Amino acid sequence: MHTTGTAMTRRRIFAVLSASLLATGLAACGNSDTGDKGGTGSGKIVLGFSQVGAESGWRTANTNSIKEAAAAAGFELKFDDAQQKQENQIKAIRNFIQQKVDVIAFSPVVESGWDTVLKEAKDAKIPVILTDRSVDSADKTLYKTFIGSDFVKEGKLSGEWLVEKTKSATGPVNIVELQGTTGSAPANDRKKGFAAAIAANPNLKVIASQTGDFTRAGGKAVMEQFLKANPKIDVLFAHNDDMGLGALEAITAAGKVPGKDITIITIDAVKDGMQALADGKFNFIAECSPLLGPQLMDLVKKVKAGETIPTRIETQEGTFTQEQAKAALPTRKY
Ligand code: AHR
């Protein structure tokens, strides 16, 4: 079959026009899908979240809160567990940048060393929200806000309770301290707050202080060493419930009665910690709430919509004595 020159030209023009119309159509579709800059094309807000790990009951409750709230908000959540390693968090954040998520949120395992990766997110125009723990970056424009507890206050409340409890003590009161992860904001700040609260009382003395990495196993192992090295321990200040719970095993194995022979102060107020407090094994807990999910999703929406948000949002929390723990336990959510 022969084709005339005019017919061929018409066909070519038609083919070129169709191709360019198709290309315009695809581009339009692409724009609407990526109107939320997220790279998945789902049309949902895409949130990249880098979690510290799964080191404690607090962390599990926090992860559940984030996942449930993201699902309820209709977001696409890209969740990464850094297994308590900063290099894993940096890698996860870089992946989120590459995937062009809409917002990045993370709970930094340690305070220092974030400037470079935060600058990369800023250059890629991806807003960052810090949750639970903050960073020590001098440039506050590297992140939009920090939502979480006042860790110095938690340490201070713990120390103030001890000062009150020991106010009629005549001899020295020997304290051992189980610190959280070295270099993390809660470990640095709780130590600082506690030391400040007891500073004016020379009979209250921290005789040993070491990290238990916020885990039960760490708390148990370090408490065993403390007990071997120090014949007289009056008080244990543990930076979280889990280390306190691990220490209980070491104390009992050493033939001492927790809550009586050794006064135990912890931080968090998760269910297992509250149970130990209600059972008389712990003596005082300063609360640190892990339920940050709903507030975080609200902030993500606002940041995505270009709204201005406060640069610091402090979680509201209280303290618990043994009696208060008994009353609160039946309705405790985590
Ligand atoms: O950053 C919050 C702390 O991290 C919690 O107190 C602790 O339990 C967790 O691992």
Single out the residue of 196, 186, 202, 200 nearest to residue 266, CA to CA. Answer: 186
The DSSP secondary-structure symbol of 258 reads: B
Ligand 1 centre to CA of 57 (Å) is: 9
Instruction: Check pocket membership of 63 for ligand 1, CB cut-off 6 A.
Output: no
Q: Is 52 a residue whose pLDDT tops 50?
A: yes
pLDDT digits (tens, 9 = 90+) for 72-90: 999 999 999 999 999 999 9
Ranges of each domain in the chain: 46-149+290-316, 151-288
Atom of ligand 1 nearest to the CA of 186: 1
Confidence of residue 23 (pLDDT cuts 50, 70, 90): very low
The answer, yes or no, to whether any atom of ligand 1 lies below 6 A from the CB of 133, is yes
Beta strands in the chain (DSSP E): 46-51, 76-81, 103-106, 128-131, 145-148, 173-179, 204-211, 235-238, 263-268, 284-287, 312-314, 319-320
Given a cut of 60, whether residue 15 has pLDDT beyond it is no
pLDDT value of position 2: 37
Read off the pLDDT band of 250 (50, 70, 90).
Answer: very high
Strand order of the sheet with strand 204-211?
A: 204-211, 173-179, 235-238, 263-268, 284-287, 319-320
Q: What is the pLDDT of residue 36?
A: 40
C-alpha 241 – ligand 1 centre gap (Å): 9
Q: Is 186 close to ligand 1, i.e. is its CB under 6 Å away?
A: yes
Model confidence band, residue 133 (pLDDT cutoffs 50, 70, 90): very high
pLDDT for 333: 86
The pLDDT, as a whole number, for residue 42 is 74
pLDDT score for 4:
39
> Is 110 close to ligand 1, i.e. is its CB under 6 Å away?
no
Mean pLDDT of 217-245: 98
The answer, yes or no, to whether any atom of ligand 1 lies below 6 A from the CB of 214, is yes
As a whole-number percent, the residues of the chain with pLDDT over 90 amount to 87
Q: Is the CB of 216 under 6 A from ligand 1?
A: no
Is 27's pLDDT higher than 70?
no
Is there a contact between 102 and 37 (Cβ–Cβ < 8 Å)? yes
Identify the pLDDT of residue 26: 32
User: Any idea which architecture 46-149+290-316 has in CATH?
Assistant: 3-Layer(aba) Sandwich (3.40)
Q: How far is the CA of 192 from the centre of ligand 1 (A)?
A: 16
Better-predicted residue by pLDDT, 24 or 59:
59
Token digits of residue 207: 């005789």
DSSP letters spanning 189-207: HHHHHHHHHHTT-TTEEEE
Residue 39's pLDDT is 53
pLDDT at 40: 60
The CB of 76 under 6 Å from ligand 1? The reply is no
Q: How confident is the model at residue 91 (pLDDT cuts 50, 70, 90)?
A: very high
Distance of CA 7 from the midpoint of ligand 1 (Å): 75
pLDDT, mean of residues 230-253: 98
* Identical fold, 46-149+290-316 and 151-288: yes
What class is the 151-288 domain? alpha beta
Q: What is the rounded average pLDDT for all residues in the chain?
A: 90
- Range in 19-23, 171-175, 200-204, 238-242 the model is least confident about: 19-23
Ligand 1 centroid distance, CA of 263 (Å) = 21
Percent of the chain with pLDDT over 70: 88
Average pLDDT over residues 101-124: 98
User: Among 58, 83, 179, which is best to mutate for testing ligand 1, by the most ligand atoms less than 8 A from CB?
Assistant: 58
Task: Give distance in angstroms: CA of 304 to centre of ligand 1.
Answer: 28
What is the 8-class DSSP label of residue 225? H
The CA 102 to ligand 1 mean position distance, Å, reads 27
Q: Give the residue with greater pLDDT, 40 vs 310.
A: 310
Please give the C-alpha separations between residue 15 and each of 5, 12, 18, in angstroms, as whole numbers. Answer: 15, 5, 5
